[in-house]
Amino acid sequence: MNSYQAPRSNKGFTLIELLVVIAIIAILAAILFPVFAQAKAAAKKTSMISNFKQVGTATAMYTSDWDGHYMLSNSGGIGIPGWGFGPPDTVPGQQMQPYVKNTRISIDPMDPMQSEEDRIKDQIQYMTLQNPPNPNATERMYAMMVRSNIGYNYAFFSPWRYIPQTQYVGSASISESEVNNTSGTIMWGTSIWDRVGGNPFGGGNWVIETPCWKDTNGNIMRPMDRYAPGTGDGTLRNYGNAWDATGTLWDVYGGLWPFYNQTSLENIAHGLKDGHVILGMADSSTKSKPLFSTIAGCSAYGGGGFAGTVTDPSKFMWDLD
């Protein structure tokens, strides 16, 4: 007895059909990959904004415990290294640790150096260690927080001082009552340590530098005026060049770096970028702002040790007024 069987079809995709499918996938990938990249960058930006909010909360708790005084950019001391060179000096990231208990918040998710160990290893080469080359826990914490991507507006909140008579190396302190415009005053900003080949290298920097030191009359602004040559005791110190107009240097933006919403300024200098920086204000609020908005009302690029002059006080965001 014969049974009927339907003929089998061995027909698969033709070469043309496969090529069409591959082309469609390639087109979809070209469309979606940038979207995924933007979503990833946006998530990292949100994460860093959250980190800055934690720092703002920690700052408020710190000032509450220290009679309304802000953190020192360097605790300093007599005849000690100071300014990033090691304990017994301390830096803001250390001073706020009792309130945050988290070192990872000091690392920007977009910074190329994500490893805490790499940051510590790179910093200890500049430090005076008790037992070289084996840093103790305090020295490790110091090294890590010197390389924080959350930089402190030290000139206005804790100006650097050097007193040769006593060999004091450190900084001054100000109180909350001295800040007249807390919501409009930059306290923290996303920072970098150095640039190699135009790209950020070495993590962050525990301080950022104001683009303007002088008011509209050409006088050093408060509180730096207390320590400036001429108006004060002459103990004021800084990096010496404010915002450096040399596009390849780390401090072209005073240590700030636009990790987010980046666009290239390659036509000006190799590796130079525009974009957004994350800012922590004196009222503990957090903002993402275009980099060049931070020099509003300021000449930014001036010459000399305390460079830059304010042109419009109502727009300048670094000072206390």
**What's the pLDDT tens digit per position in 112-141?**
999 999 999 999 999 989 888 889 999 999
CB of 160 closer than 8 Å to CB of 238 = yes
C-alpha–C-alpha distance, residues 30 and 286, integer Å: 34
Residue-level pLDDT at 253: 94
**Nearest alpha-carbon partner for 152 in 78, 198, 83, 103:** 83
The number of C-alpha atoms within 13 Å of 32 and in the hemisphere containing its C-beta is 6
Q: What is the mean pLDDT of residues 193-208?
A: 95
- Amino acid making up residue 173: S
Any residues with CB less than 8 A from the CB of 144 and at least 6 apart, and which? 93, 103, 106, 116, 119, 120, 123
What are the backbone angles phi and psi of residue 153, rounded to the nearest 5°?
-70, 75
Q: Is pLDDT of 5 > 80? A: no
C-alpha–C-alpha distance, residues 80 and 82, integer Å: 6
User: H/E element holding 277?
Assistant: strand 273-281
Q: Is pLDDT of 35 > 70? A: no
Higher pLDDT, 294 or 21: 294
Q: How many residues does the chain have?
A: 321
**Nearest alpha-carbon partner for 131 in 139, 123, 142:** 139
Q: Is pLDDT of 302 > 70? A: no
Q: Is pLDDT of 1 > 80? A: no
Farthest CA pair distance, the chain:
118
If you write DSSP's letter for every residue of 149-215 in order, what string do you get? SEEEEHHHHS-EEEETTTTEEEE---BGGG-S-GGG-EEEEEB-SEEETTEEES---SEE--S--B-
Span of 35-39, 96-100, 225-229 with lowest mean pLDDT? 35-39
Residue-level pLDDT at 32: 67
Span of 8-12, 180-184, 224-228, 229-233 with lowest mean pLDDT? 8-12
Give percent of the chain above pLDDT 90. 72
Q: What is the mean pLDDT of residues 29-35?
A: 71
Q: pLDDT tier at 86 (50, 70, 90 boundaries)?
A: very high
C-alpha–C-alpha distance, residues 256 and 204, integer Å: 9
Higher pLDDT, 237 or 82: 237
How far the first Cα of the chain sits from its last, in Å, is: 104
Residue-level pLDDT at 303: 66
Kindly list the distances between the CA atom of residue 52 and the CA atoms of 102, 151, 152, 181, 285, in Å, as whole numbers in the listed order. Answer: 12, 10, 12, 19, 8
Q: What is the mean pLDDT of residues 31-43?
A: 73
C-alpha–C-alpha distance, residues 154 and 74, integer Å: 9
Measured CA angle at 221 (ends 216, 157), to 5 deg: 140
Q: What is the mean pLDDT of residues 96-125?
A: 96
Residue-level pLDDT at 14: 82
Q: What is the mean pLDDT of residues 14-28?
A: 81
Residue-level pLDDT at 18: 79
Q: Is pLDDT of 275 > 60? A: yes
- What are 134's two structure tokens? 């084996």
Q: What is the mean pLDDT of residues 50-71?
A: 97
C-alpha–C-alpha distance, residues 101 and 119, integer Å: 18
- Amino acid making up residue 18: L
CB of 154 closer than 8 Å to CB of 191 = no
C-alpha–C-alpha distance, residues 137 and 35, integer Å: 42
pLDDT digits (tens, 9 = 90+) for 208-264: 999 999 999 999 999 999 999 999 999 999 998 778 888 888 999 999 999 999 999
How high does pLDDT run on average in the chain?
91
